[in-house]
Each structure stands twice: as C-alpha cells, then as structure tokens.
Amino acid sequence: MKLETCTIMEMNKKGFTLVELIVSFAILMILLGGVVALLPAFFNQYNHVQNTARTQSIGTTLLELLEGQLGYATSTINIVTTKSDDYDIIEFDDKDGNEVKLSVLTDSFKEYLNNSENYIIDKGNNKLDKDLFIFHYTETKSVENADKTLRDAVNWGYNTDFYMNNIVKEFHVQPAGNEYRRNVLRVSFTLINSRNGMENKFTRLIECSNFKNTYNNGITVDNDDINSDKNGCGTVTLTDSKGSKHIFTATLDWEEEKKKIENNLGNTVQGGILCDGDDLYLIYKWSDYIPKDELDMTVKQLVAKYPQMFLRLETTSKIWIAEDRIKMYSDYIWPVKPKIGELCYFKGTYYVAASQYIGQYSMPPDQWIELYKNGGN
C-alpha cells in the first residue's frame, strides 16, 4: 500500500495587536483634528476671496455706469454738497438731454430733493434702499404749456440684490487736477460689506468728451482746494437759494482776445468771463466800436471805462435757479423781475440776464445769454 505525502501549510496567524490599532487610530484622529481645525480658516479665506471678487465686479460695473453717464454729459456738471460730507451730489444733463441728479440715497439727498418727488421707486417698481446709488430724473414740463407734464420725475438705481450686501460708504467727484486736462474728473467711492465690514475703494478718471479742454471746462465744483485757474485767475463761488455752490473762473484770456480783435477775427464773446488777478468780470454786453488803440488797457481799466459792458462777479452776485420760480395760473414765472447782469442756472446751463426788457415770464434762453464755455458753448 502506497502512502501519499500530505503537506500541511501552516497559516500565518500574525495580525494587528490591540495596541497597534489604538496607536493607529490615535494618529488618524490627530491628523483629522488638524484638518478639521484648518477648515474654518480655509472657508474664511475662500469666502474672503469670493466676496472680494464679487465686490470688485460690482465696483467695476458701477464705475462703468458712472463713466457712461458723466463721460457723455451734454451740459455743465455741477458738483454740490449737502450736510453730509461723505456724499457729493452731481447735477448734469445726460446724452439724451434728461436733467439728472446723481448721488447716494441718504436723508441729506432726500432733503436736497425737498421731499417732493417719489424717489424710492426704480424701473422695476422695487423699493430702493438707503446708501445705494440713485439717479433722479427730474420732471419734464412742456415749454409751450407749463401745466403739461411730458414726463414725471423718475428714480432709478440697482437694488440690493445687485449689491450683494454691500453699501456705498463714500462718493466723491472732483476735477482730476492740473496734471490732467481740465475736462477730466476723478470719481471715487467706497463699498463696504454690511456683514463682514470689508471695505473696497474704487477710483476712475473720466473724461467728459463734450466739454472743451480750456479754462473752466463746464465743471463747477464746491472745492476749497481749487482756488485758482491755470492762468492765475481766482474763482468766485455763488450760492443759490437751495444752498448749492456754483464756482466760476475765467473762460476767456484777454491777451488772446486782443489778438483776435486786432486781426479782425471777431469780437469778444458775450457771456465770457475775463479776469484781472483775483477779480472776475462777466461780459454781458460788448461794443463793436471800442478803438483798437484802447486794447492796450488792462481788464480793470477796460471795465472802468466801459462799466455798462461788464459785471464784476462777487460772492453776493445773484444766481437764479428753476426752483425759484412760482406758479402763476398756467405758467411758471420769476417772483420778481431779474435784473441785468444777474445769473441763472437753468436745465444744466448758465445764463446771464443781458436785456432791460427781461421780465418775470422770460425763461432762458429768451432774453438771456448763455455763458461762454461755462454752460455748454
């Protein structure tokens, strides 16, 4: 009988001991604990990056909106301030001729609008919240019939969904400075996230393409830092009945005007402003018969000899605005007859009363002369 050999393989019975399992589990817990500890910081950084990207996108969109409006303004851009120094108010006519008041919706801006308009409704009939940009389009009346409203006052602005928890903290518009052409504005605002307090400031230089690059470029501003023009002339600030500031400086150079007259290239423009040092003189009449040999006179000498042609601009000079009018039956009229030499800011343009026949019913441009290079010429 043949015996078969049977090989019995001994199985490896080695495994993890309880101690090894405990140590491995402890190490795993330590690693997981470190990862978990880093997660909040990771998510905070992720949220910070996401919020920054969103805010940058919002700010860029707002800058493009402001550039599209101010860059193509068709009349004088008037920069005024309210009781709040944080938010400027910008008055201008847009490219379609609409009279616009731009600012941030605050109590001061509501007061500036005299609480007379329905300023909390946007295009989608959604309520506009405070501390966001608002474009106030003023009411448009028929020229032929003052009682006929062509368009009601409209307010427009992006709602809170667009801003994604951001509000506008500051808004300022100023001339860019002497290193730039004088039709360039520096626009800046700050967005602050109402949840995390993160602030982002946005600034852009905007060229007003419809304004000429000479002297006062159609931009008036209440700014104490700008107290003289490039040609050494001073400025005069007038305050209207609503407290808005209107700054004027020279719009004509007397030496250039003399050359033009001597070479029979035309006469000095009515509505222009000449300066003699810090004194400003507005031409509201001009005689074609001034002898050329008198052109050697200084501006001050010329004014002394022909006082009937000039108005010296002073801080007390009268400036009328549309809000000064009162309703008389179906018309809007001035409460009193404007005097020769008085100024008027009407529908984004500056005028001077240059006729003795101007009356209470005379609305610019009737019997008024548009100011040269200070109101769209």
CA distances from 250 to 29, 81, 281 (A): 78, 23, 8
Model confidence band, residue 319 (pLDDT cutoffs 50, 70, 90):
very high
Q: What percent of the chain has pLDDT over 90?
A: 11
The dihedrals phi and psi of 85, each to the nearest 5 degrees, come to -85, 0
pLDDT, residue 168, reads 93
Which range in 13-27, 48-62, 137-151 is most confidently predicted, on average pLDDT?
Answer: 48-62
CA dist 294 and 264 (Å) reads 15
Burial class (CB in 10 A: 0-12, 13-18, 19+), 185: buried
The mean pLDDT value for 125-154 works out to 73
Percent of all residues in the chain with a pLDDT value above 70, rounded to a whole number: 73
Residues sharing a CB contact under 8 Å with residue 315, sequence separation 6 or more, in sequence order: 236, 237, 238, 239
pLDDT band for 265, please (50, 70, 90 cuts): low
pLDDT, tens only, 140-181: 766 566 667 777 788 888 888 899 889 998 898 888 876 677
What separation, in Å, do the N-terminal and C-terminal C-alpha atoms of the chain show?
131
Q: Identify the residue with better confidence: 289 or 306.
A: 306
Neighbours of 285 (CB within 10 A): 16
Q: Who has greater pLDDT, 67 or 49?
A: 67
Give backbone dihedrals phi and psi of 175, rounded to 5 degrees, phi first: -55, 145
Where helices occur in 170-296 by DSSP H, the ranges are: 254-262
pLDDT value for 119: 47
At residue 195, the pLDDT reads 79
Task: Give the burial string for 146-158 (b: 16+ CB within 10 Å, else e).
Answer: beeeeeebbbebb
Dihedral in degrees, nearest 10, Cα atoms 44, 50, 55, 57: 170
- What is the pLDDT at residue 227? 36
- DSSP category for residue 283: E
Residue type at 176? A
Question: pLDDT digits over 354-363, tens only?
Answer: 877 788 888 8
Q: How confident is the model at residue 336 (pLDDT cuts 50, 70, 90)?
A: very high
Q: With beta carbons less than 8 A apart as the criterion, state whether 193 and 215 touch.
A: no
- For residue 56 the two structure tokens come to 């940058």
Residue 187's pLDDT is what? 92
Give the model's confidence band at 9: pLDDT under 50 very low, under 70 low, under 90 confident, else very high. Answer: low
Q: Residue 4: its pLDDT value, please?
A: 56
The pLDDT-based confidence of 287 (bands split at 50, 70, 90) is low
pLDDT value at residue 63? 92
Query: pLDDT at position 84, please?
Result: 60
Q: Which of 15-19, 61-65, 167-171 has the lowest mean pLDDT?
A: 15-19
Q: Which of 7-21, 64-78, 124-138, 143-157 has the highest mean pLDDT?
A: 64-78
- Within a 10 A sphere around the Cβ of 235, how many other Cβ atoms? 21
DSSP 8-state assignment for residue 70? H
- What is the rounded average pLDDT of the residues 124-136? 73
Contact between 300 and 291 under an 8 Å Cβ cutoff? The reply is no
| Bridge partner list, 328 | 331
What digits encode the pLDDT tens for the residues 80-116? 765 566 888 888 888 888 889 899 988 888 877 765 4
Instruction: Tell me the C-alpha distance between 301 and 194, whole Å.
Output: 61
